[in-house]
Amino acid sequence: MADFPSVPRVGIISQARMTSTRLPGKVLMPIGGQPMLQYHVSRLREAELPIYLAITTNTTDNPLADFAADQSLPLVRGSEDDVLSRYWSCAEQYELNLIVRVTSDCPLLDGTLIRRGVEEYIRQGDARLYLSNVLERTYPRGLDFEIFSRELLAEAFQQATQPSDREHVTPFIHQNRSGRVRFRHFTRPANRSAYRLTVDTADDFELLKVLIEQHHAHQLPTDALLDLLDAHPELVALNAHIEQKKV
């Protein structure tokens, strides 16, 4: 077990870009009079941890830079395809030794869940630990987070060579390419992994728009949000046919 600081410098790094292949510009599309990204950031702030936005150097992402400035969010810009390098640049620049990875197309991601995950990680006291709710999935897509140390991030940044590893940030870590990663899974008793709360297509966006504008889902804790979906199968059906893109 590699020792981990008892009081680490923690940062939530959210990756974003305007050139999504299936729904370009989605993160700034309006819901209830404000951009979808605003809901994402507001929910993350419930974790009471620093938040960083990692975007590309493309001019198409300048509106995201403007959003970050308006929200007083620290910003890192880097390669569109080498997202791993964006995370490493952010960790280095802000001297983070515990990183929470999230993606900006998840407007209902619950910061209180992330806080619980971070507290569990710190209790474990192991810099070789990877903790997430994505490998053993019991939460819906769209409530995803991954937590790992700067040590594991550095290892991936220095050793990962496959383009898919660089684009998707964590495969080198969670596939345990080093052979020295320890895993902890953040799960819930009742499996709701079939639900989809991420925005990748127009149908995904329509569901989130209805949930937020008609049911105030952005104000609900996770359990209440899942109760809402349980009670409204007609809403779940709006994007149940969407297949997640393969990593």
φ, ψ of residue 201 in degrees (nearest 5):
-135, 170
- For the cut 70, the answer to whether the pLDDT of residue 103 exceeds it is yes
Residue 49 has pLDDT above 90, yes or no: yes
- Dist CA 168 CA 103 (whole Å): 11
**Residue reference for tokens 């149940």:** 240
Rounded Cα distance, 4 and 124, in Å: 9
Residue 44 banded pLDDT, cuts 50, 70, 90: very high
> Could you read off the pLDDT of 165-181 as tens digits, one per residue?
999 999 999 999 999 99
Chain center to CA of 23: 18
Task: Write the pLDDT tens digit of every residue in 150-164.
Answer: 999 999 999 999 999
What does the DSSP assignment read for 177-190?
Answer: TTS--EEEE---SS
The secondary structure of residue 141, as a DSSP letter, is B
Report in angstroms the alpha-carbon separations of 145 from 20, 58, 214. Answer: 20, 26, 26
The angle subtended at Cα 43 by Cα 39 and Cα 46, nearest 5°, is 155
Coarse DSSP helix, strand, coil percentages of the chain, rounded to the nearest 5 percent: 40, 15, 40
**Tell me: the pLDDT tens digits for 188-223?**
999 999 999 999 999 999 999 999 999 999 999 999
Across all residues in the chain, what is the average pLDDT?
96
Per-residue pLDDT at 4 exceeds 90: no
Domains of the chain, each with CATH number or no CATH: 10-194 (3.90.550.10)
- Tell me what pLDDT residue 246 has: 66
In this predicted structure, the answer to whether residue 244 has a pLDDT above a threshold of 80 is no
CA distance 14 to 123: 24
Look up tokens 């127009």; give the residue. Answer: 202
Is the per-residue pLDDT at 46 higher than 90? yes
pLDDT higher than threshold 70 for residue 118: yes
Q: List strand residue ranges (DSSP E) for 137-181, in order.
A: 146-149
The Cα–Cα gap between 229 and 234 comes to 9
Residue 17's pLDDT is 97
